[in-house]
């Protein structure tokens, strides 16, 4: 894709930041410096609202060599999550909606029960995003949300339905804590809640 290890990368999409946040996580997971990977706040939606330049021309890509180095400490497995239920070594924040977290609606994936991981806390990812332009809310508001849930240190693991929107919470938390490297339960509820 023409990207090298020393490139500054700005990621955007046309969703409410879901895909770009997951892409941000993947770059960090595969060793790109956190000081070189950014999300375009608001993505394409905000860009268009602000009447900025867009094009339909295809970008010419000059192939490059990229050396990936997995940061395996950035993901948790089902076994680690199960051990944590007993040991309580880290907090688990679930990015799904409250009704899904509480098991009040049927899960959208087949053969996955309703509910949530024992001891986990719910913070729907969209509560960190301004629906008007898909930008992140003010840092003070995000900080208040995390603190109200008792998240005040780097000992937090994010989860969701399939580990995608968990990345939105990872980005949101990194906005108020620049020493935090996101940690995601990669299997999330689609693995943990499997029947």
pLDDT value, residue 18: 92
Strand partners, 75: 184
Can you read off the two tokens belonging to residue 22? 């997951």
pLDDT value, residue 178: 83
Average pLDDT over residues 104-110: 94
Task: Please confirm, yes or no, whether 21 is among the known catalytic residues.
Answer: no
Give me the catalytic one of 23, 122, 128, 160. Answer: 160
At a CB cut-off of 8 Å and minimum separation 6, what does 52 contact? none
Give per-residue pLDDT as tens, 32-41. 999 999 999 9
Sorting pLDDT into bands at 50, 70 and 90, what band is 173? very high
pLDDT value, residue 16: 80
Following DSSP, what letter does each residue of 62-83 receive, concatenated?
----------GGGEE-HHHHHH
Instruction: Show the domains of the chain with their CATH numbers.
Output: 72-192 (3.40.250.10)
Give per-residue pLDDT as tens, 46-89. 999 999 999 999 999 999 999 999 999 999 999 999 999 999 99
Centroid of chain to Cα 34: 14
pLDDT value, residue 20: 96
């Amino acid at each position: 894709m023409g990207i090298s290890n020393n490139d500054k990368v700005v990621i955007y999409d046309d969703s409410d930041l879901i895909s770009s946040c997951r892409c941000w996580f993947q770059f960090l997971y595969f060793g790109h410096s956190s000081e070189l990977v950014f999300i375009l706040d608001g993505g394409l939606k905000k860009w268009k609202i602000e009447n900025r330049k867009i094009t339909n021309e295809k970008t010419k890509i000059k192939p490059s060599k990229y050396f990936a180095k997995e940061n395996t400490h950035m993901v948790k497995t089902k076994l680690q999550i199960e051990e944590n239920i007993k040991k309580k070594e880290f907090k688990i924040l679930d990015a799904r909606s409250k009704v899904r977290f509480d098991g009040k609606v049927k899960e959208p994936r087949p053969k996955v029960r309703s509910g949530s991981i024992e001891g986990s806390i719910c913070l729907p990812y969209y509560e960190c995003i301004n629906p008007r332009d898909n930008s992140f809310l003010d840092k003070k508001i995000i900080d208040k949300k995390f603190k109200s849930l008792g998240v005040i240190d780097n000992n937090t693991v994010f989860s969701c339905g399939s580990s995608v929107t968990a990345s939105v919470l990872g980005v949101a938390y990194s906005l108020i804590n620049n020493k935090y490297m996101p940690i995601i339960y990669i299997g999330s509820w689609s693995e943990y809640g499997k029947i």
